[in-house]
A and B are shown apart, each in its own frame.
Chain A
Amino acid sequence: MRRYFTRKFLIYLLTFFFAVSIDWAIPRFMPGDPVQSMLSRAALHPESATAMYDYYSNSFGLDVPIWRQYLNFWGSLLQGDLGTSVWLYPQPVSSVIANAIPYTLALMLPAILLSWWAGNSFGAFAARRKWLDNTALPFAYILNSMPYMWLGILLAWLLGSVLDIFPLSGGYGYGLQPEWSLEFIGSLLKHWFLPFASLFLVGFGGWAIGMRNLIIYELESDYSHYLTALGAPQRLIRRYAFRNAMLPQVTGLALQIGVIVAGALVTEIVFSYPGLGNLILQAINNEDYFLLQGAFLFIIIGVLIANFVIDMVYVLVDPRTRTGMRGATS
């Protein structure tokens, strides 16, 4: 148990170190000079341009040797300073991201958790039930094979453009200001629904299929046959099968987190939802590499936390990890 946690912790620390180092490299190794490209947008005299260049290089911390920049990056990172946005100069990156984070979390967390829960329940229910297996599962397969943004596009087109039930883009109505009023929250929910639904549906299909296959495996295993031979009720056997099939699904969630996050980011782009995904697109288009760096940092931290939580949950649901037996995969 203790060994398990020390090893996990070490791996997370190392991963964090590598991921942040790659993150640091983004603005430094980009084509063109971010400062130059920012200055070239404002037409300046050559001599004032040099002065400006020096000023901005200094304020972005790009005028010291590269190893020094790396150390400085870690230093300011640990103080919560992510630098200044080029696109929205002089807003600090951290505040730009802080505005986007609530939207992304409000979208991702319910979509991931609900689709996991609903998909697993449905998959377990559908397994070895001929009628459901033949009607509902093909749909689950189709959902699971859809690219996230395409389902988003389809929903936006059908429910947003053709039927005009839901708004097509944005986080809230154009005429509104963020405030705690009923009207604003209603508008927020209305804009939230379509991106949520498209994320939920793709995930739902995948988990349902996975669970269905795992339950069939479990129902065909020796202990299930033994229970059947003893005359145990089918409900009980299914419950045992479900508990065993949950373990790979918990690990599966950890394996899938990266793909799901990427899916959520493109879904945001489809709906112009004001979260991190849209911020990343804007940052790429505006060559704002510091913003890009900050956004990725939050994604790295988020994915690491999610993985860590899943590891904790795994210890809770799989007693073998607690007694030090070979239970957990890694």
Chain B
Amino acid sequence: MTDANLMTVPDAAADPARRKRSEALYFAVRNPKLIVGGTVLVALLLLAIVGPYLTDNPPNDYVGPKASPPSGDYWFGTTTFGQDVFSQFVHGLRTTFVVGVLGGGIAALIGMAVGFTAGYRGGRVDEFLNMVTNIVLVIPTLAVLLVVSAYLKARGVLVEGLFVGFTSWPWAARAIRAQTFSLTARDFVDLARLSGLRTRRIIFREIAPNMSSYLVMTWILLFGGSILIAATLDFIGLGPTNGTSLGLMMNNAVLWSALQLGMWWWFIPPGLGITAVVGGLYIMNVGLDEVFNPRLREL
């Protein structure tokens, strides 16, 4: 009889979980925000993957006529020096996704590590981590980047992603800490602690799954934020020194007076690309919020 009881426990636990998942899916496919955001994002991701194969022109070579508007040969026109804007755009889009995934991913990892530890341990550990978080929050990122770039004459996209990740985690850490704090006070965590589970197991098996939707959304916001920060860095010339990026395109356009010369095809696509990627992410985030949180659903 005890055996039978034990046998039914996982079933009973699995069933509501499965129902919950299918419920989330039910609302996910019916949520216009999620669908619009996701479609924009997937379309741009495909363009970033396929795009570089659609053109034979390397992004930074002087291939075409100078400063020509969009045409059949050069879909997005050419720069003052005859570089193919379309080629720059699709390569830059790739860079944007790489920086976003990497920067957002690293920031999410650090944010989770700090947030979980501070929120679960509390006390001195919490105070210390809080202090570190506050310090990183206020230190101007640009100053640190200048020192870093001093050591690395040739910076790639990876370095930029790493750097953005290492500096943009504080708010995520704070948010996750607050969530962990409230979950730690619940009965089931006490129960897990009483049954002698190790800390790491409690965090990963009891606390993290209960805020998984929150973690996903935090990652999405960090993803979008990283892209914007990277664009800012590129724009003042602290971005990747090899290759191309959307921020760098805007930097060059402003530097070589595309505004005064009316060469709109040079500076519209890169900004539009960033806005579409980040906007898609943000709108998807709100959609996910509505899917996971029944209170927010528009009825």
**Is B141 in contact with A258, judged by CB distance below 8 angstroms?**
yes
- With both beta carbons as reference points, the residue of chain B lying nearest to A153 in the complex is identified as B267
Number of interface residues of B (CB under 8 A): 57
* Partner among A25, A145, A261, A296 whose Cβ is within 8 Å of the Cβ of B275: A145
**Is B235 in contact with A269, judged by CB distance below 8 angstroms?**
yes
Does B138 touch A at the CB level, under 8 Å? Answer: yes
Query: Assuming the A-B contacts A146-B275, A220-B296, are A11 and B140 also in contact, with contact meaning beta carbons closer than 8 angstroms in the complex?
Result: no
**Is A153 in contact with B250, judged by CB distance below 8 angstroms?**
yes
| Chain A residues in 8 Å Cβ range of B247 | 147
**Is A15 in contact with B275, judged by CB distance below 8 angstroms?**
no
| Chain A residues in 8 Å Cβ range of B275 | 142, 145-147, 150
Does A92 touch B at the CB level, under 8 Å? Answer: no
| Chain A residues in 8 Å Cβ range of B113 | none
Task: Tell me, rounded to whole Å, the shortest Cβ–Cβ distance linking A296 to chain B.
Answer: 4
Does B112 touch A at the CB level, under 8 Å? Answer: no
A29 to B146, CA, bound (A): 9
**Is A15 in contact with B274, judged by CB distance below 8 angstroms?**
no
A259 to B229, CA, bound (A): 8
* Partner among B131, B171, B262 whose Cβ is within 8 Å of the Cβ of A11: B131
| Chain B residues in 8 Å Cβ range of A269 | 235-236, 254
A151 to B270, CA, bound (A): 12
- With both beta carbons as reference points, the residue of chain A lying nearest to B170 in the complex is identified as A255
**Is B259 in contact with A11, judged by CB distance below 8 angstroms?**
no
| Chain A residues in 8 Å Cβ range of B268 | 154
Task: Tell me, rounded to whole Å, the shortest Cβ–Cβ distance linking B33 to chain A.
Answer: 9
Most B CB within 10 A of own CB, among A14, A149, A303: A149
* Partner among B151, B264, B274 whose Cβ is within 8 Å of the Cβ of A147: B274
**Is B236 in contact with A284, judged by CB distance below 8 angstroms?**
yes
A4 to B222, CA, bound (A): 29
**Is A149 in contact with B139, judged by CB distance below 8 angstroms?**
no
| Chain A residues in 8 Å Cβ range of B259 | 153, 156-157, 160-161, 168
A258 to B140, CA, bound (A): 7
Encoded as 1 (CB less than 8 Å from any B CB) or 0, chain A from 78 to 111 comes to 0000000000000000000000000000000000
| Chain B residues in 8 Å Cβ range of A14 | 131, 135
Query: Assuming the A-B contacts A23-B143, A168-B260, are A150 and B232 also in contact, with contact meaning beta carbons closer than 8 angstroms in the complex?
Result: no
Question: Which range holds the interface residue count of chain A?
Answer: 35 or more
A11 to B279, CA, bound (A): 35
- With both beta carbons as reference points, the residue of chain B lying nearest to A202 in the complex is identified as B228
Does A313 touch B at the CB level, under 8 Å? Answer: no
A14 to B228, CA, bound (A): 29
Query: Assuming the A-B contacts A141-B283, A142-B275, A258-B138, are A149 and B229 also in contact, with contact meaning beta carbons closer than 8 angstroms in the complex?
Result: no
| Chain B residues in 8 Å Cβ range of A40 | none
Task: Tell me, rounded to whole Å, the shortest Cβ–Cβ distance linking B246 to chain A.
Answer: 8
| Chain B residues in 8 Å Cβ range of A300 | 138-140, 143
Does B174 touch A at the CB level, under 8 Å? Answer: yes
Scan residues 260-294 of chain A and give those whose CB is less than 8 A from a CB of chain B: 261-263, 265-266, 269-270, 280-281, 284-285, 292
Scan residues 258-293 of chain B and give those whose CB is less than 8 A from a CB of chain A: 259-260, 262, 264, 267-268, 270-272, 274-276, 278-279, 281-283, 286, 289
| Chain B residues in 8 Å Cβ range of A153 | 250, 253-254, 259, 267, 271
A323 to B146, CA, bound (A): 43
Does B194 touch A at the CB level, under 8 Å? Answer: no
**Is B296 in contact with A142, judged by CB distance below 8 angstroms?**
no
| Chain A residues in 8 Å Cβ range of B85 | none
Does A35 touch B at the CB level, under 8 Å? Answer: no
Does A31 touch B at the CB level, under 8 Å? Answer: yes
**Is A22 in contact with B144, judged by CB distance below 8 angstroms?**
yes
| Chain A residues in 8 Å Cβ range of B228 | 145, 147, 259
Does A19 touch B at the CB level, under 8 Å? Answer: yes
Encoded as 1 (CB less than 8 Å from any B CB) or 0, chain A from 135 to 175 comes to 00000011011111111011011001110000010000000
Does A229 touch B at the CB level, under 8 Å? Answer: no
Does A217 touch B at the CB level, under 8 Å? Answer: yes
| Chain B residues in 8 Å Cβ range of A303 | 138, 140
Does A232 touch B at the CB level, under 8 Å? Answer: no
Most B CB within 10 A of own CB, among A144, A162, A258: A258
Query: Assuming the A-B contacts A11-B135, A255-B137, A262-B141, are A145 and B232 also in contact, with contact meaning beta carbons closer than 8 angstroms in the complex?
Result: no
17 contacts between A and B (CB under 8 A): A15-B139, A146-B271, A146-B274, A147-B231, A147-B250, A147-B274, A149-B250, A157-B259, A157-B264, A161-B262, A217-B296, A255-B171, A255-B174, A262-B232, A265-B142, A284-B146, A296-B142
Give 4 A-B pairs besides A157-B264, A330-B174 with Cβ atoms closer than 8 angstroms.
Answer: A161-B262, A262-B142, A269-B254, A280-B142
The 7 closest A-B pairs by CB, nearest first: A150-B271, A145-B279, A145-B278, A220-B295, A147-B231, A296-B143, A255-B171
